[in-house]
Amino acid sequence: MLCTKEYADIEAKVMNGERLTREDGLRLFACHDIAWLGALADYVRREKCGDIVYYNVNCHVNLTNICTSHCKFCAFGRDKDSKGAYAMTKDKAIALVRDAMRDPHLAGLHVVSGLHPDWSFENYEEILKALHETFPSLYLKGFTGVEIVHFAKISGLSIKDVLLRLQAAGLQAIAGGGAEILSDRIRQQLCPKKATAAEWLEVARTAHSLGIKSNASMLYGHIETVEERVDHLLTLRELQDETGGFQTFICFPFLPKNTELGENITQTSMWDDLRTMAISRLMLDNFRNIKAYWVMLTVPVAQLALGFGANDIDGTIHKETILHDAGATSPTALPEDTIVHIIREAGRIPAASDCNFNIIRNKD
């Protein structure tokens, strides 16, 4: 492999399977050789998980966009009396999924919602249970660590008991959102009303102890420093060392449109998105899967990210709303054939999977 002399020690460490340090991570963020970074991350991806790229044939179900949290980076959450506010009934959620079931390959649901000021925990739980009972063949991934902390607070239950109840209602895996940047400084400034970094991590730790797999993410490109990006990755790596319960890591570039924060922030460049993907693969040496989330990255960048360490490209989605409220320019859904095509064009093997990375159909 080719690199400047300055980075030969990092390249040697990666080739020898040695863990990178915080200092290495900071140096990688200062590296301008994007082709080298990509090649190094692609090498690790190939060694760790081969050429399969996972995707889901799935449907996103966002039960409500009414939310008490008012996170400054969010364009989805709104007050009850705001234009476009909605809250689905159980029947409406079932009707949405029934419509998505017209796709004979639909395999699962991704259920993520706002923190509704009037809904009880039982309200969310009953809808989840109804979806599970009406569509027993569909896997159920849902609720971020932020939602689970909210459920514990409004119900008076412990995080463990909330998780056990959701598991009994059909939940099979936890969504990766809500981690943002796991820094009290950032959370105080951008989302002081929702789960703290410690609470988000506690949900993941508890879920893993119950055998429920979860996912992790990083929302970057707002007010965080490079040091905070690296520390976020190291925090996740540390918990993964402890539990092994994270399945995939998702890089979320901040989309500023229609957010309170947006006016002051320039959207990340493709350069930043690709280097962050590559560095995430290199730093998170105990994560098997790294996701290129096409909704935020755009489809062309997500495809390119498959050469920068990613081995997961999310799913068909059916109808994405959360990020399109923030000006995402990608489509709101992708046909399975398109996903398969972009994976194959990248020289990789598409595999439809469930929410726990079990392969349902291998397209080759």
User: Shortest approach of ligand SF4 to residue 75 CB, angstroms?
Assistant: 8
The tokens describing 7, both together, are 């980075």
The CA distance from 330 to 320, in Å, is 10
The CA distance from 135 to 227, in Å, is 44
The CA distance from 225 to 80, in Å, is 34
Which of 172, 208, 125 has the alpha carbon at shortest distance from 354?
172
327: left (phi over 0), alpha (psi -120 to 50) or beta: left
- Is 45 or 116 the residue whose CB approaches ligand SF4 more closely? 116
User: Shortest approach of ligand SF4 to residue 352 CB, angstroms?
Assistant: 28
User: Shortest approach of ligand SF4 to residue 20 CB, angstroms?
Assistant: 30
- Is 77 or 170 the residue whose CB approaches ligand SF4 more closely? 77
The tokens describing 128, both together, are 């989840």
The tokens describing 249, both together, are 């890591």
The CA distance from 198 to 259, in Å, is 25
The CA distance from 342 to 154, in Å, is 43
User: What is the bridge-based pairing of β-strands 349-353 and 359-362?
Assistant: antiparallel
Residues 6+ apart with CB under 8 A from 132: 140, 169, 170
- Is 77 or 176 the residue whose CB approaches ligand SF4 more closely? 77
User: Shortest approach of ligand SF4 to residue 194 CB, angstroms?
Assistant: 5
- Is 115 or 154 the residue whose CB approaches ligand SF4 more closely? 115
Which residues of this chain interact with ligand SF4, rule CB under 6 A?
67, 69-71, 74, 76-77, 114-115, 146, 191, 194
Residue owning tokens 């690199």: 3
User: Shortest approach of ligand SF4 to residue 175 CB, angstroms?
Assistant: 11
- Is 215 or 303 the residue whose CB approaches ligand SF4 more closely? 215
DSSP state of 193: T
Half-sphere exposure of 121 (CA within 13 A, CB side): 20
- Is 55 or 254 the residue whose CB approaches ligand SF4 more closely? 254
C-alpha of 187 from chain center: 18
The CA distance from 280 to 225, in Å, is 15
The CA distance from 42 to 305, in Å, is 9
- Is 97 or 112 the residue whose CB approaches ligand SF4 more closely? 112
User: Shortest approach of ligand SF4 to residue 217 CB, angstroms?
Assistant: 12
- Is 77 or 245 the residue whose CB approaches ligand SF4 more closely? 77
- Is 191 or 230 the residue whose CB approaches ligand SF4 more closely? 191
User: Shortest approach of ligand SF4 to residue 260 CB, angstroms?
Assistant: 10
User: Shortest approach of ligand SF4 to residue 234 CB, angstroms?
Assistant: 24
Size of the chain, expressed as the number of residues it contains: 364
User: Shortest approach of ligand SF4 to residue 123 CB, angstroms?
Assistant: 16
